[in-house]
Amino acid sequence: MLVIIDGWGYRVEAAGNAIAAARKPSWDALWERWPHTTLAAAGEPVGLPAGQQGNSEVGHLNIGAGRIVYQDLTRINLAIDDGSFQRNPALLAAMTAARDGALHLVGLVSPGGVHSSSAHLTALLEMAKRVGVERVFIHAFADGRDEPPSSAAGYVKDLVDEIQRIGTGRIASISGRYYAMDRDKRWDRTERAYRTIVEAEGPTAPDPVAFITQSYARGINDEFLEPTRIVPPNGDPAPAIADGDSVIFFNFRPDRARQLSHAIVDERWEHFSRARRPRLKHFVTFTEYEKGLPAEVAFQDEPLAGVLAAVIADAGWGQFHTAETEKYAHVTYFLNGGREAPFPREERLLVPSPKVATYDLQPEMSAKPVTEVLLERLAGGRDRFYVVNFANPDMVGHTGVFPATVRAVEVVDEMLGRIAEAVLGSGGILAITADHGNAELKVDPENHPLTAHTQSPVPLIVAGAEDVTRLRDGGKLGDIAPTLLPLLGLRPSAEMSGDDLRS
């Protein structure tokens, strides 16, 4: 059984460390008893630029692939560097068509590199200027989770400066990602963003930076900025997305871009009423957000071959993947290398995440129901391989509320104890790891709450494999599958270039 604890980084220092502050007898006993090591989960060892924090998508891709997977962020950066970005057929077609209408650039304005990159938006503006698009409107989303909670004012000011330098573009609206990037089917949130961006409804503000700083003064940080149109004093309001326009959604990570994309272009949309649905000339997404979404994709990607789940399937074994809503895509689509459909004899079960505004209000999330589902499946004896994700340390950690994050860690520890008893008691092998750091560092150098992921390594424990006495240091997430498969009597696939960490 492979247990992936989201956001459980490894850090020795106790200050600001919710994992160190938590009471976790199950974890401590497993760490003490069984071979363990730490793995790189950020930067170049997982296919990201050096110094770039890890994230759930990247982590699960590398774990499942058994090798370094070069990420969309890296691929797009390389396209900008070698000039092919400016010749990208999907982007070029959208911009050329927009010379007769308007171009709308939609996405997260942040240098964070988790869902988007400000450098990519700059490249789009420079391309629009070169192509001759005169009417360019930016619908900016504020972060506050993968970046500090009050950093958007600075990032938007930087964007304003870039607009002036390049000579094209205008900020038309601002929305916190809580609304514009919901992925948990909270349709009321998506609706708020849609009404602002597409139907030009809702509150207005004269200046984007002033709007953000005034929101801070009212206790509203970046993630929760209310969807607002930017209407300069004595100026024309930016138009809504209209018939004949082109839209480029420049988030490269799919999961939090899907709902709004469907609302804009899906003819069969039924989750809230739309006063109008513009007939666009082009709707371009940086990557493929979802099969069947009516969009042109700028940077196509092929599913990875030879992933962990494929090796299990090729052996004719049953396998079971489960998680709650927030991380379900990660133990299915991402872990399986970008493959939507299950492999033969792979079964999946989604456990709904609780419907709360923020997870510090319920740090238990759905850890207990996930565990119940998993243990019931284990008792049935139908499968040879199991994978489960616990979302709590990451999702609660993103709130920046330290006591709640401590509680999240303790809840997961309780579930680990139950799982370890069941797996080890039946003679199975239990591997426990994480996809990236978060809960181990919850304050910044000024002692302010930290909501973002970290560059910390993550732990790996292999319990129940009596012939494994030691795990080598210096590994990475892509070494997990090549280490575990031989313990099951299976050979890693030819595509797996990761190392076997057994000594």
Lowest average pLDDT, out of 87-96, 233-242, 392-401, goes to 233-242
**What does the domain layout of the chain look like in residue ranges?**
2-69+304-488, 73-297
Q: Could you tell me the pTM of the whole model?
A: 0.75
pLDDT at 354 over 90: yes
pLDDT at residue 112 in the model: 86
The CA-CA-CA angle for residues 499, 500, 501, to 5°, reads 105
Please state, for a pLDDT cut of 90, what percent of the chain lies above it: 94
Residue 114: name the closest of 86, 143, 153 by CA: 143
Residue 458: name the closest of 399, 393, 395 by CA: 393
Residues 404-451: tens digit of each pLDDT = 999 999 999 999 999 999 999 999 999 999 999 999 999 999 999 999
Segment holding 71, helix H or strand E: none
Q: What is the CATH number of domain 2-69+304-488?
A: 3.40.720.10
List the alpha helices (DSSP H) in 99-151. Answer: 118-131
**How many angstroms separate the Cα of 21 from the Cα of each of 18, 147, 410, 442, 446?**
5, 23, 10, 11, 20
**3-state SS class at 108:** strand
Mean pLDDT (the chain, rounded): 97
What are the residues facing 463 on neighbouring strands?
430
Lowest average pLDDT, out of 33-47, 234-248, 432-446, goes to 234-248
The two three-digit tokens of residue 362, written as one number? 């319920």
Active-site hit among 56, 117, 118, 456: 56
Report how far residue 439's alpha carbon sits from residue 394's, in angstroms, rounded to the nearest whole number: 6
Longest C-alpha distance within the chain, in Å? 75
Neighbouring residues of 354: CB distance < 8 A, sequence distance ≥ 6: 362, 365, 366
Q: What is the third-level CATH fold of 73-297? A: 3.40.1450
**What radius of gyration, in Å, describes the C-alpha atoms of the chain?**
23
Please state, for a pLDDT cut of 70, what percent of the chain lies above it: 100
The two three-digit tokens of residue 106, written as one number? 């939609």
Starting at the edge strand found earlier in the chain, the sheet holding 430-434 runs: 346-351, 319-324, 385-390, 2-5, 430-434, 458-463, 36-40, 475-476
**Side-chain-facing half-sphere of 16: CA atoms under 13 Å:** 16
Residues 149-200: tens digit of each pLDDT = 999 999 999 999 999 999 999 999 999 999 999 999 999 999 999 999 999 9
DSSP string, 26-48: HHHHHHHHS-EEEEE-SSGGGTS
Is residue 18 within 8 A of residue 500, CB to CB? The reply is no
Neighbouring residues of 422: CB distance < 8 A, sequence distance ≥ 6: 375, 378, 379
Report how far residue 271's alpha carbon sits from residue 274's, in angstroms, rounded to the nearest whole number: 9
pLDDT classification of 236: cutoffs 50, 70, 90: confident
Mean pLDDT of the 386-409 span = 98
Residues 454-496: tens digit of each pLDDT = 999 999 999 999 889 999 999 999 999 999 999 999 999 999 9
56 carries an active-site annotation: yes
Neighbouring residues of 428: CB distance < 8 A, sequence distance ≥ 6: 1, 464
